[in-house]
Structures are given as C-alpha cells and as structure tokens.
Amino acid sequence: MTTGRPVQDGGILYDETERDDEDEVAEASPAPASLPAIEWSETIERNEGLRGTELIQAFVKRLPNSPGVYRMFNEAGDVLYVGKARSLKKRVNNYALGRGHSNRIGRMIRETANMEFVTTRTETEALLLEANLIKRLRPRFNVQLRDDKSFPYILVTADTRAPAIFKHRGARSRKGAYFGPFASAGAVGRTINSLQRAFLLRTCTDSVFESRTRPCLLYQIKRCSAPCTHEISDEGYGELVAEAKDFLSGKSQNVKGQIAAAMNEAAEDLDFERAAVYRDRLAALSHVQSHQGINPAGVEEADVFAVHHEGGISCIQVFFFRTGQNWGNRAYFPKADPQLSGAEVLNAFLAQFYDDKPCPRQILLSEKIDELELLSEALSEKSGHRVAILVPQRGEKKDLTDQVLQNAREAHGRKLAETASQSRLLEGFAETFKLATVPRRIEIYDNSHIMGTNAVGGMVVAGPEGFVKGQYRKFNIKSTEITPGDDFGMMREVMTRRFSRLIKEEGLPDRSAEAAQAGVDAADLPFPAWPDVILIDGGQGQMTAVRAILAELGITDHVVAIGVAKGADREAGRERFFTSGTPDFSLPPRDPVLYFIQRLRDEAHRFAIGSHRARRKKEMVKNPLDEIAGIGPTRKRALLQHFGTAKAVSRAGISDLMAVEGISESVARLVYNHFHEDAR
C-alpha cells in the first residue's frame, strides 16, 4: 500500500496508511470467540462538559499509536460511529483538527459526547472487530449494509446413520457440512433436486427415515438410494455422501471423472443397467452446472461484486459461484454518505458482508478498493484459507465482472425509479390529507380472526423507501373481557399496547425538533420510532375507538389517525376515508394516492392473516401434554410411544403411567392429577 497520498473518507482527509473503513452496523458486546484474540482497553473516563472537537482533543493526548477500534457516542449514549485505525492516535486526531469535514461528518463530531477505544495486536484484527461491532450496533454515521435477510445454505447432516441433504437457514446448530451461500431459496431447491438425481441422497426427515419399512416413491423414480430400508449398504451410501460433499466443495471435475470412469467400466463389463445409472447421474451433474444464466467455465469458486454509484445512491450487486455453478445473485443498497465514491462504499461494505458468511477462495471486484491487501489478509485469517481479492483487467473474469456491473446498473435504475415514485406518492398523500409535512413513517393496522378465535392484530410500517419489514409487529389478542369477534375491542387493545409501550420506551415525539430538521437530507436521519400517520382498516366505529385511546394516552396532537373503510359493496376503488375535523370522503378511482393506500392496506391485511394462520396452526397441533409442567420432549415422546395418543394418556392410571420408562411415581401423579381435577 502506498503512503503519504491524502485520500478522503466522508470528507475527512488523512494519509492512506491510516485509512479506516466505514462499515455496517448492530449491538455492542464483547468480541465473539470466532474473532482473533483482542486486548480490550478500559473506557477512558468521561470528560464532563466537553463535546465535539474539544472532547476529541482531550482523548487524543492519551491515545496510543497502536492499532485499534474506536466508538463515538452522543449525549444519550447512542453509538454514532465505529471505526478502525492502524494508529488510534493519528486517526482520531484527524477528527480533532476541525477542518476538511463534510457537513455530515461535521455534525457527527459536534454530537460526540464520549468515546471508547479498544486496542488490538494488528490492523487486521481491528478490521474484523470493527466489522463485527458495526454489524451489531448499526451506528448512524457508518455505511450500513441494511441486510435483513439471511442466506440459505445446503446442509449435509452428520448426526444420523444415513446423512440427509436439506435446505438450511439460520444458526448452524446441527452437526453437518454447510455449503453456500445461495442467493435465494429457489436456487437451493433447484440445486438439491439435481443433486438428488446425481447422488441419490435422502431428503426425508429423520422421523420418516426411522419409521420406513419399505422404500418410498423417490426410490422408485430413482431420486433416492433408500438407505432407510438398506436397499444400499451403509458403506455404499457413505461413498455417495462423500461424492456429494466433494462436488459441493469445488471438486466437481474429479467427481464427474470418477462417475464417468465407473460408467465406462460397467459398460465394458456389459452391465448396461448399472452403466445407465451412472449415465443418468452424470447428466444430472451436467445439468447443475449448465442451467444458470451467467455461468463462466473458468470460475470454479468465487464471489463477484460490482458497484454502481449515481445520484447519491450506491448499488452493489453480488453473484455467488461455487463448484463452477452460479448460485444466484442479490442487489444491495447500503446507506452511505452521498459524497463517498462507489469504491469507498464497496470498501466499507465487504468486511461487514463477510462478518457472518464463509469466504470463497476468490473475490472479484469491478473496482479497486483502497484496502484490498488488508481485507484479503483479514478474510484469510478469519476463514483459515487464503482469500484472493482481484480486480480483473482482461479475459473471461473481466467479462464476468462487466456482466455483474451491468446488472448493478439495471438494479440501480429500478431503485431510483421506485424511490422517486415513493417520494411522489408520499407527497401526494400529504397533500390529500392536508398534512403539515410529508410523512416519514406510516403505520397500518388490521385484525384477523375466525369467529373471534386466535385473534391477531397486525401492524406494518411504510416509509420513504417502501415497506420496512423489520418494523412489522403482531399482537396476539390477550384480553378475556373482549367479546369474541369484537373488532372495536381488539383495536382498542392493539392501540393501547402499541402506544403505551412506545411512550414508555421513546417518550413523546418532539415535533418541533423534527420540523427544524426539515431541510436535512432524510438519508442522514434515523428512521423515526413514532409514526406521523396511522392508517386503520375500518370506518367511523373503528376510528371512534382509536381516537378515544389516543386521547386517553394524551397523544392526539402527535399522531394523525386515518380510517380506511371499504366502499359500497366492499368494492375496491370506492373506499371512504375518515379523518378528524373533516367529513369523510372518497378519492377518484384512478388516483395514484388511492392505489398507494390500497397497497398499504392490502399489505397489513396480508400480514395480519398470515399471523393469524400461524397462530391457528400452532393451536391445532398443540398437545395437552405440553401444558404439564415437568413434562419435557423426552417424557412426552415416551408417553406417546407407550400409549399412542394424549387421550389414552389422560385415561391411564398411576400404575400404568409408572410403567413407562423415565416416568417416576411423582411424575406419574403429576400427569394423572392434570387430567383428573378430583384427584387427591
């Protein structure tokens, strides 16, 4: 890395030797065990009365020249920024100079009321720790990945006699080998279907596997080798599992070569039936590697990133390639200072992206980033194998990054169109309902139940960039005083619970302060906790209940409530709108604001119904044994295996219950007393 060249990071000038990533975010806690050993420094005592550059100057005097991570806090104790440095003293001193800062970074410095520091052994350790802290803390002034979706993986289990192949998402708590990431569940499903034909691995659950007495249909259609009934030996099935793991690990050519050799050998022995099996497996493997769109022959294992920056918005497109296959792609729109270049946003993005994901052996980029060598070293240290980060200049890999860049441009164009459309709709919404300002947070409420059973209230949230699914909430109706089917009573409970908690956690909103921020770029402001508008799926009766709750809580002047009632014959396009202080009205059938409100209402309806169905399904499969304290999964399984059903358990005597393995006399009496209220 060259030295001495001044570069700019969010408006802050410093030498490239002290370059610091602005990465993504989430919640403060000690570094996880997976990170390198890190020396945690004690928080330097707070300098009461000092803020901004004066506070930072006071800290600089006591900082070491060693690598580390720093955090900047505001008066309320919220983390404003997390950064890393090769030299903490030199890096933090840049903030204390008080010049060369962008408006956004200058505002961050002025809001700084405290700082905390962590020293590390090396700069790579600082980079990994910074990425982890940003991922959990989500500081306001960092580049934010805004990735609320986990990636699906393929899991080959290792805790049963015959390993199975499954789609997996979430924590990797089960023993086995994980392969991925895939960009979508659909890509996982297609790959597993092809791997079934190629390696004949089982996809059934363990309970089904253990209970089979004859092969299932998948065996008949040559999609499984039926290890459940020993149609294949355990050794033979183990060989299939090993081949599948090799194929998913990038050794696809070796696996195909072995299968081809086995096919030829069977043909030479005139065992054409066995040769046909190998032929079909070979064709299935070829299908896996050929059915994707972008599928270069020379890229066996790599992630390809391309960034397009325009109009203050950056789009980062990533394609995943494993075993010579295209495992899908995803577009990201990280929140970042518009003054940063695309390369700077990409530099900040990569460390957070791989904070909780396995790294491939090769990463291809459309642009050169400042900390390419440092990031390569850090990811290699984290993953346990060398990770090469390249910016192709010619050949097939250059063509590939150009294709990914074209996808990034197209996704960026779609995002700009959606954002502009959303902004125009919010402006039209404010004009239609005569709001003082354009709303930044709209909450939409709806209830769902069947004859009052399993009642659920749903809340969805929309903002300048569309639906904010991470803010959705569901409310299981708990009150026993509500008459089943009383929608007004349900809405009263939902409103009371929602806003009582909001007042307790956030306090009343300061609308005057929000008005003062009217000229500030919305991208620089955190998403508000308080809604500007609440939409209620209902008419005058629902609105009366809602207004009574808002008045009781003293927040009538803080939130605008609007009721959306279905029109005559419940026909879409004839909705009536109810607001305080004006007669109810309808909008013209082709009004864009009407379509916008219908979309908001439909999303609330979808979410409420989905939550209701999930609760109803849970109730349907609920077992009476679940209600007995002290009866866990093991005892429950033992009772059901012995008696067959929960009803039979309820009829059993104490001596019969004690005959079950693991059920003592005290536990038997506990179970018996649960089903017999008159028991002594």
| Position 630 pLDDT exceeds 70 | yes
The predicted pLDDT at position 305 comes to 93
Per-residue model confidence (pLDDT) at position 284: 64
Cα gap 425→462, rounded to integer Å: 12
Residue 288 pLDDT level (bands cut at 50, 70, 90): low
Q: Which two tokens stand for residue 326?
A: 């295209």
Q: What is the number of alpha carbons within 13 Å of residue 34 lying toward its C-beta?
A: 13
β pairing state of 473-476 and 466-467: unpaired
Instruction: Report whether pLDDT(204) > 80.
Output: yes
Which residues contact residue 620 at a Cβ distance below 8 angstroms, ignoring those fewer than 6 apart? Answer: none
Count of CA atoms in the C-beta half-sphere (13 A) of 213: 0
Q: Is the pLDDT confidence value at 598 over 60? A: yes
Which stretch, 35-49, 50-64, 492-506, has highest mean pLDDT?
492-506
* b (16+ CB within 10 A) / e for 126-154: bbbbbbbbbbbbbbbbbbbbebeeebbbb
Query: Which CATH number does 6-137 carry?
Result: 3.40.1440.10
Predicted local confidence at residue 48, as pLDDT: 58
Q: Which CATH number fits domain 442-614: 3.40.1740.10, 3.30.420.340, 2.40.30.210, 3.60.21.10?
A: 3.30.420.340
Residues 606-615 have pLDDT tens digits of 988 888 787 7
Say what the pLDDT of residue 531 is. 93
For residue 200, what pLDDT is reported? 87
Q: Is the pTM of this model over 0.75?
A: no
CB-facing half-sphere around the CA of 70: CA atoms within 13 A: 25
**Phi and psi dihedrals of 577, rounded to 5?**
-115, 135
Report the candidate in 278, 282, 222 with the shortest Cα–Cα distance to residue 247: 282
**Residue indicated by tokens 């002594």:** 680
pLDDT tier for residue 262 given thresholds of 50, 70 and 90: confident
Is residue 295 classed as helix, strand or coil in its secondary structure? coil
pLDDT above 60: residue 23:
no
Domains 302-413 and 442-614 share a fold: yes
* DSSP 3-state of 173: coil
pLDDT tens-digit map of 150-196: 778 889 998 888 999 998 887 777 888 888 777 777 778 877 887 88
Give the confidence band of 4 by pLDDT, cuts at 50, 70, 90. Answer: very low
Arithmetic mean of pLDDT, 478-507: 82
Split at pLDDT 50, 70, 90, the class of 26 is very low
CA distance 149 to 139: 19
Average pLDDT estimate for 445-472: 83
Contact 301, 322 (CB under 8 A): yes
Domain ranges of the chain: 6-137, 153-290, 302-413, 442-614, 624-675
Architecture of domain 624-675: Orthogonal Bundle (1.10)
- Report helix, strand or coil for 278: helix
Lowest mean pLDDT among 3-17, 121-135, 241-255, 573-587: 3-17
Token pair for residue 231? 């149609």
For 494, the token pair is 């939902």
Binned at pLDDT 50, 70 and 90, residue 7 comes out as: very low
Q: Which of 242, 282, 230, 280 is nearest to 260 (CA)?
A: 282
pLDDT digits (tens, 9 = 90+) for 514-559: 555 555 555 556 788 899 999 988 888 888 888 888 888 888 888 9
User: Chain-wide mean pLDDT for the chain?
Assistant: 79
Q: What is the CA radius of gyration of the chain?
A: 30
Pick the CATH number of 302-413 from 1.10.10, 3.30.420, 3.30.310, 2.40.50: 3.30.420
pLDDT of residue 294: 55
> Residue 500 — left, alpha, or beta (φ > 0 → left; ψ -120 to 50 → alpha)?
alpha
CA distances from 471 to 26, 442, 490, 526, 530 (A): 15, 11, 21, 13, 11
Tell me how far apart the alpha carbons of residues 88 and 98 are, in angstroms, rounded to a whole number. Answer: 17
What is the per-residue pLDDT for 10? Answer: 33
Taking residues 258-280, what's their average pLDDT? Answer: 74
**How are beta strands 313-322 and 302-310 bridged, if at all?**
antiparallel
